[in-house]
Chains A and B, each alone.
Chain A
Amino acid sequence: MKLELRGITKRFPGVVANDNVNLALNTGEVLSLIGENGAGKSTLMSVLYGMYKPDEGQIVIDGTDLVFASPADAIGAGIGMVHQHFMLVPVFTVAENVVLGVEPTGALGKLNIDEARRMVREISDKYNLDLDPDAVIEDLPVGVQQRVEIVKVLLRDAKVVVFDEPTAVLTPSEIIEFFEIVKTLVSAGRGVVFITHKLKEALNIADRIAVLRRGKVVGEVDPKTATESQIAEMMVGRPVQLTVDKNSAKTGDVVLKVTDLTVLDADGRTHVENVSFEVCAGEIVGIAGVQGNGQTELVEALTGLRKATRGVIDLDGKDLTHSNPRERHQMGMAHIPEDRQRQGLVGGLSVAENLVLTRYHDDQFSHGVYVDWEAANAVAETLITEYDIRTPNKETGVGTLSGGNQQKVIVARELSRDLRLTIAAQPTRGVDVGSIEYIHSRIVKERDAGTAVLIVSTELEEVMALSDRLLVMYRGKVVAELDPKKVTPMEVGLYMAGSRPDSAVSA
């Protein structure tokens, strides 16, 4: 089978997401589609999967023009997709999720769940995926959930499998396993589209690499001959610095001290278990770990968004275990949240209003019951210039800005005051390269000014490059404390997966 995208153009109000894109894929090969956030990769794949209708262009399979009105059509044409956000019903079992849409049934549409189990087991065994058909999705780690997604695609006998940023949720060793699965798929005569923004991985697995920038294919390179910096330059349109520029840390007194912290959710599930660590002034401590191993809950407990079930949190020697978020904020804690749309910003409010979202009650901005909007607007103007926030004006709705500029609004708001501790969760998720560089430099600058910094990121490269000290979380526990200069990503990855390399000394 040969799949071709010819002249695909997709416009949204104000943006051309895909601009005359041409791509071709044969079965039996891996095409990597690479580009930075917002380059139009996901849009292109949504077009291919029948979720968007292209404004122009055709999808051609083996020479015939096809129109996909819905994913059903795409599935019928032999295309399968593993989405970046897993399309799994959390309360269903593995078997139920896998057969959804192609259910084996008896009379009156009665579900034949035994048959569904058998189907899952068969594929799972064939590709060595090790799945329990009766496990409920929400109890499974993300790595396993991804294998469920793969089974879904295989059950529908997809000839072309599209993986959208599949490695974002995996540990280095899981990534290697994942690549093995990809190789098996290819050798079984299927084609694979591998969407990523990680250069190393693309070079590692792809037969061809297509680079997307601002909706256009800017070139195709051969992974055997291309270099990382060459591709990075194609992606961004200018030379890119691939490492974080920083001096060694001048560590001061302990600022944050966490002792035996345990966090349970309302249903009694443990998310953080007996976690203890310290962060000193002038150092960056990173927390690595696969998504869903308690980092979110840890950050929420540290910032007061979630109650600690047990344990003590000290800031500068003061116990703030029971303080609310505002009190912690006023004690000099800044929080860059992991989900800027959901937590960090109010999309319906203006840039200026968002720039004072956590500070409108300070004396600087409020007199009695009034908000001093003049003062707030003045500060907003300054911050927009200082942090290079690209916005038409300060009254613009923050929801209309690009991801990078939205993140800069948060960074500007949180870092533009005297701080003792900065907690940044996924500070560069979904952000363009220019903004990533800028945000990283800001964080390092903050450290050099003597602030204690805690970085939580599932991007292992990022957290290793930024941190002076590295903690690894696995199933709610801190399983290792490492020096990022002395370990390899592979070793950290083993800790992230819950195993202990013999050579390293555990904390």
Chain B
Amino acid sequence: MKNLFNKFGERLNRVSSMKLTLLAVLSALIVGAFIIIVSDVDNLRDGDVLGAVSTVGSAYWALVVGSFGSLRAISNTINSSTPLILCGVSVAIAFKAGLFNIGATGQMLAGGMTSLWVGFAMDGPGYVQVPLAILAGAIGGAVFGAIPGILKARTGAHEVITTIMLNNMAAFFILWLLKTDLFQREDRTDPISKLVSAEGRLPRLFGFMDGRADLIAHVGFIVALGAVLAYWWFLKKTTTGFEFRAYGLNADAATYAGMHVKRLTVLSMMFAGGFAGLAGAAEVLGTYGYASTNFAGNIGFDAIAIALLGQSSPLGTFFAAILFGALQAGGRQMQTNSDVPIDLIIVLRALIVMFIAAPLLVKTIWRTKNATIAAGQTFRGWGS
């Protein structure tokens, strides 16, 4: 009886945490609408407030249509979500171990480049090359991700600083790499890579539908689903997963319990890097088929928001990534349809994170009761 009551309580908690998430998204959209209106200089100069308000309507409608309004829109959402899921898991797994991985961008670049190399250096057969290239991406990301882990374990350098620095270094390194003979496309002078061989591209998800070249979602999405599953399995079932959780919640107790925390530090950053590397591979092998300097874009940073939104749980991270992917896909439509720049999406994401991280605020605004979200503290001080 008591047990049943507890279970019910937990369920209730989960529902209200869901509600809180929705309210946070709603709050963000309202603030976003306000920003659209006040920045509508043309209409406001003419005193046409209604015109400005209607811009909001068309912009948000475009968001919906562009993300779920058609098969093509859904394909776009899937495509945008794929790297977000993978990087989201990257940040989430580090969070679980109590580390703040801001370096997903750099790790994604590293993984993307290693997978790219396998992608153009080999020429089929696809069933060998594609898995090999994906694996190369994971390894590239993991190796690069291990650096801040090792620095932290050996010298105590804080990962917030080191990963930011490594992101910048990776960006310049890749700028250089893309101008070397090895990587640069033969007939080009700008930093752009050779093309991944046809066999090495990730198959498209909707490849079975003839004549729909516009459906760009690719098999990377399956890899992302696998990553979410693997993450879930790792946390729930494995000894190392248990160590991650204990270390993340209480580093002193983990040390006391005989866990090798330095190893865990390196390992968690390596895993994080591996997932981010997969994201790089998915973009390079799937979406683009080549690498330019900014193929990682802002994905690594969005992933932080995603992991926070999903409270680092496997399922939560997955749905948060889908939401952000939908915003991304819809945002492009919005920019085309309504002249509202896609940068609004960045603002919306920031707002969602703020509202999510401040359940107290959302509760105050919407006067909900008893909703709790354990945002937790990610930061354990600069100490060594």
Contact = CB atoms under 8 A, between A and B. Distances in A.
Interface of A: 266, 303-305, 324-326, 329, 335, 337, 342-349, 353, 357-358, 360-361, 366, 369-371, 392-393, 395
Contacts of B171: none
Interface stretch (B42-50, B202-210, B236-244, B324-332): B236-244
Given A360-B239, A371-B238, A371-B242, A326 B249 contact: no
Contacts of B242: 353, 360, 371
Nearest to A358: B257
B256 A371 contact: no
Contact of B249 (A305, A329, A346): A346
A204 B236 CA distance: 56
B237 A347 contact: no
Contacts of B201: none
Contacts of A366: 239
Nearest to B237: A370
B239 A349 contact: no
B298 interface: no
Given A366-B239, A371-B238, A329 B258 contact: yes
Contact of A348 (B2, B6, B249, B258): B249
A291 B255 CA distance: 23
Contacts of A361: 239
Interface residues of B, number: 23
B246 A346 contact: yes
Contact of A349 (B238, B245, B256, B384): B245
Given A325-B255, A342-B252, A357 B246 contact: yes
A29 to B, nearest CB: 43
Interface of B: 2-3, 6, 237-242, 245-246, 249-250, 252-260, 384
Nearest to A328: B258
A249 B250 CA distance: 38
B249 A325 contact: no
Nearest to B384: A266
A335 B256 contact: yes
A348 B311 CA distance: 14
B258 to A, nearest CB: 3
B249 A344 contact: no
Contacts of A342: 250, 252-253
B250 A324 contact: no
Nearest to B376: A348
B256 A324 contact: no
Nearest to B241: A371
A324 B245 contact: no
A311 to B, nearest CB: 21
Contact of A357 (B2, B253, B384): B253
A369 B256 contact: no
A337 B255 CA distance: 12
Contacts of A349: 245-246, 249
B231 to A, nearest CB: 15
Contacts of A266: 384
A371 B239 contact: yes
A305 B256 contact: yes
Given A392-B2, A392-B6, A326 B258 contact: yes
Given A346-B250, A357-B246, A357-B253, A369 B258 contact: no
Nearest to B7: A395
B240 A369 contact: yes
Contacts of B2: 392-393
